Amino acid sequence: MAESVTAAEQRTSLHGHWSSRFAFVLAVTGSAVGLGNIWKFPYVAGQNGGGAFVLVYLGCVALIGLPIMMSEILLGRRGRRNPVETMRILGDEEANQPAWALVGFTGMIAGFIILSFYSTIAGWTMAYTVKAATGTFVGQDAAMLGAEFGAFIANPIATGFWHTLFMAVTIVLVGLGVEEGIERAVRFMVPALVVLLLILLAYAVTTGQFAAGAAFLFEPDFSKITGTVVLAAMGQAFFTLSVGMGAVMAYGAYLPQDASIPGTALAVAAADTSIALLSGLVIFPIVFANGLDPAEGPGLIFQTLPLAFGQMPAGSFFGVLFFICLGFAALTSAISLMEPAVAWMVESFGLTRPTAALRVGGIIWALGLLTVLSFNYLADFKFGRGTIFDNLDFLSVNVLLPVGGLFLTVFAGWVMCQNSTADELDPSVGPMYRIWRLLTRYVAPVAVVLVLLNAFGVFG
């Protein structure tokens, strides 16, 4: 043991370190806050009946997502390499089991799939920035805006163009390297996004349906809880916190040794959850005030927010700002989805960062065309969970992330020796450490296994 502790202490990242703990908090916040909070949370909550889903989601964030986030940071900081290499090194060091590298590898694949559809939706937000700027929403009602959205996603040239642009920007930023750009963007964009959501909240209050919207989100109807709802809530918890595929682990590799892991994880999870709930409080009053369907699906924010921007004072101005901020939030998340694969190619194959970013991004771009087409030419091509997009979403968010997270908790809680985890998390082995260990060894893995088995019908 003594030997490996020394080895762990001596390892340093090959890409430099974050300038401070605060820079790391910003980067992980940038990864966590994105389309998951503003686009996905409201529509998945809407599809799964509201309050009961939200309650399960909050439970999953606290009891599963948070301990896994702490585990990912500690694994990354201890391994100091990309997730594949980190899992290989630590698996070897802790238990002579280098095959743990596979967990890093499948995580990378999950990142490819997620970014492929993420980029398509981020493209929608870019297009909506232009629509807001040109006054498209002014004086429109729900039906007109629904038709507008329908016509937009039916056009693979337009949506494909925005998807391409978003991937190009992501590739350039990842190719240029991690630190400064991300830090600077997050420092302005996340607070700006919160301010804009608060302005939208003020509008939501004036719709007269605020109480109905809040009740939908916060009054659980337990009869609505099914295996699928719980699976969706758990997947959303993983997705919104960016855990289960190694993104946070990749960032942890650049974390200075003296930064507090539990404090960081708590701050990020609290900010991320608040932003999601705020988004829900904006969207649902607009849904009910305009007779829209909460279960509308992926188009929900694109049919509700334009109503607000079309009606409120200075709506075009706020609309442009909002969609720009959302685009940036998506960008800082997209960067983290690519980082594991790019770091892996740089460290293990000696490619330069720009070359690695171009190759990884190219594959993801091509895969993303399937999602672009899922909303038009391939919209009727359905199997499994629905369209190609629905299947990619389900496979990555509801299956690969929880399974990846399961392996990560088992590794951190059962395979690693206690000295190693205590050393990284909380050298004084205080109450924080004991809570983390309890959640990581028992609560999180058992919960993930039960939810997966239940959703796939093992319990009948």
Strand partners, 24: none
Question: At its nearest, how many Å lie between ligand TRP and the CB of residue 39?
Answer: 8
Question: At its nearest, how many Å lie between ligand TRP and the CB of residue 29?
Answer: 10
Q: Which is nearer to ligand TRP, 264 or 316 (CB)?
A: 264
Q: Which is nearer to ligand TRP, 240 or 316 (CB)?
A: 240
Q: Which is nearer to ligand TRP, 79 or 235 (CB)?
A: 235
Q: Which is nearer to ligand TRP, 98 or 181 (CB)?
A: 181
Distance CA 440, CA 447 (A): 11
- Burial tier of 28 (Cβ tally within 10 Å: 0-12, 13-18, 19+): buried
Distance CA 193, CA 330 (A): 12
Q: Which is nearer to ligand TRP, 34 or 213 (CB)?
A: 34
Q: Which is nearer to ligand TRP, 200 or 401 (CB)?
A: 401
Helix (H) or strand (E) holding 439: none
Contacts of 211 (CB under 8 A, 6+ apart): none
Cα–Cα distances (Å) from 274 to 33, 234, 269, 392, in that order, read 10, 17, 8, 27
**DSSP H helices in 134-254:** 142-153, 156-176, 179-206, 210-218, 227-241, 247-252
Q: Which is nearer to ligand TRP, 121 or 422 (CB)?
A: 121
Other Cβ atoms within 10 Å of 453 Cβ, number: 12
Task: State the residue number with the nearest CB to ligand TRP.
Answer: 36
Q: Which is nearer to ligand TRP, 203 or 254 (CB)?
A: 254
- Burial tier of 161 (Cβ tally within 10 Å: 0-12, 13-18, 19+): middle
Helices H / strands E in the chain, number of each: 23, 0
Q: Which is nearer to ligand TRP, 44 or 308 (CB)?
A: 44
- Burial tier of 187 (Cβ tally within 10 Å: 0-12, 13-18, 19+): middle
Question: At its nearest, how many Å lie between ligand TRP and the CB of residue 9?
Answer: 28
- Contact yes or no for 281/217 (Cβ under 8 A): yes
Question: At its nearest, how many Å lie between ligand TRP and the CB of residue 83?
Answer: 11
Contacts of 114 (CB under 8 A, 6+ apart): 239, 245, 337, 396, 397
Question: At its nearest, how many Å lie between ligand TRP and the CB of residue 338?
Answer: 9
What are the phi and psi torsion angles at 458 (to 5°)?
-65, -30
Question: At its nearest, how many Å lie between ligand TRP and the CB of residue 32?
Answer: 5
Question: At its nearest, how many Å lie between ligand TRP and the CB of residue 48?
Answer: 17
Question: At its nearest, how many Å lie between ligand TRP and the CB of residue 70?
Answer: 16
The residue ranges that bind ligand TRP (CB under 6 A) are 31-32, 34-37, 114, 239-240, 242, 245, 247, 333, 336-337, 401
Question: At its nearest, how many Å lie between ligand TRP and the CB of residue 31?
Answer: 5
Question: At its nearest, how many Å lie between ligand TRP and the CB of residue 115?
Answer: 8
Tokens for 338? 């690519």
Question: At its nearest, how many Å lie between ligand TRP and the CB of residue 449?
Answer: 20
Q: Which is nearer to ligand TRP, 8 or 331 (CB)?
A: 331
Q: Which is nearer to ligand TRP, 15 or 437 (CB)?
A: 15
Among candidate residues 352, 309, 376, 342, the one with its CA nearest the CA of residue 163: 376
Helix (H) or strand (E) holding 290: none
Question: At its nearest, how many Å lie between ligand TRP and the CB of residue 269?
Answer: 11
Q: Which is nearer to ligand TRP, 34 or 298 (CB)?
A: 34
Distance CA 326, CA 291 (A): 25
152: left (phi > 0), else alpha (psi -120 to 50), else beta?
alpha
Tokens for 237? 């918890």
Distance CA 25, CA 263 (A): 10
